Amino acid sequence: MKAIILSGGKGTRLRPLTYTGAKQLVPVANKPILWYGIEAIAAAGITEIGIIISPETGDEVKAKTGNGDRFGAKITYILQDQPAGLAHAVKIAQPFLGDAPFVMYLGDNLVQSDLNLFLENFKAKNLDALTLLCPVSNPSAFGVAKVDAEGRVLQLVEKPKNPPSNLALVGIYLFSNIIHNAISCIKPSARGELEITDAIQYLIDQKSKVEAYKLEGWWLDTGKKDDLLEANRIILDTCLVSSVLGEVDEQSSVIGRVQIGSGTKIVNCTIRGPVTIGNNCHLENCFVGPYSSVADQVTLIDADLEHSVILQGAKVEGIHQRIVDSVIGQRAHLKVAPKRPTALRFLIGDDCQIELCN
């Protein structure tokens, strides 16, 4: 069994952050989204992983993620020179995959369930494809499946106007090598892409063994700001372990589950968890409220924030009103003049400088 993780795409829904970086490397609880997928795959005993990268962000993904040693895996990078669809990504990965069955994992997805549950089901039934499904309130925004009482997939439709069900396709699929033949038999969709839903539908029409498995835990597609913040909230709620490695002075108060990295200095602050703060940060005269993630080398002075994500190297100074529901990019510098009575919400890209004043 092998795995491929898709880490290309333009990330248009997370701009301006993704003008300068890969959406799969945006951190959730101070860890790149992509790494959660790699860890889940490695934990399931799959150590040969291919990562599909784009020309625009591939070098960044390689530099950040490395050869897989840190995950106990071997990573091979596969260039997809154009965003031609999920099935196209499988097609170009065929030399890496060979005849092995494999997991396909979309790199901007997070799931709570153990991947082993799906692998055991796939192997025990000798399936050709296993799709993971999750009920959603807006099925028209997703690929949607219609299934029978036994879990067999009857129909797949990509972003239908009239959905046959509310069961969305989660971004994790398991395939036997027969999928390669299916992909060779389909044509590009109206949007010019080779759709994986069309390839799976081809298998269904050919009476291949295609089943669905309904997720019992949460599933998060982190393609938008609010989705990213929700993912950050859930991960902090369910996975954060308290650890204080930095310096906290006597005037500061640390309440609840809080993680503070080495080399970080906390001066006259209140930190109310769940919160994670990275390495080599400086926080002074601040309130950091629940569900906030502060990455490495961040400076916060005279600032209040909660339910926000602050990326590496950012600097926030003199914000006397609370920052909420915000994502602030790497090395961004946010500075505000006189005190204002309202809360502030931001989505700020890398290397920005913003100053608010009368």
Who wins on pLDDT, 333 or 222? 333
Residue 341 has pLDDT above 70, yes or no: no
pLDDT band for 343, please (50, 70, 90 cuts): low
Q: Give the tens place of pLDDT for each residue, 40-62.
A: 999 999 999 999 998 988 999 99
pLDDT of 338 reads: 57
> What is the arithmetic mean of pLDDT over 339-356?
64
Q: Give the tens place of pLDDT for each residue, 141-177.
A: 888 888 888 778 888 887 888 888 888 888 899 999 9
Contact 310, 300 (CB under 8 A): yes
CB atoms within 10 A of CB 331: 17
- 3-state SS, residue 92: helix
Please give the model's pTM, rounded to 2 decimal places.
0.86
Mean pLDDT of the chain: 88
Domains of the chain by range and CATH? 2-235 (3.90.550.10), 241-356 (2.160.10.10)
> What is the arithmetic mean of pLDDT over 256-275?
97
Handedness of CA 56, 61, 67, 73 (dihedral sign): negative
Contact 78, 93 (CB under 8 A): yes
pLDDT of 319 reads: 82
Q: Give the tens place of pLDDT for each residue, 94-141.
A: 999 999 999 999 988 888 778 888 999 999 999 999 998 888 888 888
Q: Give the tens place of pLDDT for each residue, 289-334.
A: 999 999 999 999 999 999 999 999 999 998 877 889 888 888 988 8
pLDDT band for 71, please (50, 70, 90 cuts): very high
CB atoms within 10 A of CB 44: 18
pLDDT band for 227, please (50, 70, 90 cuts): confident
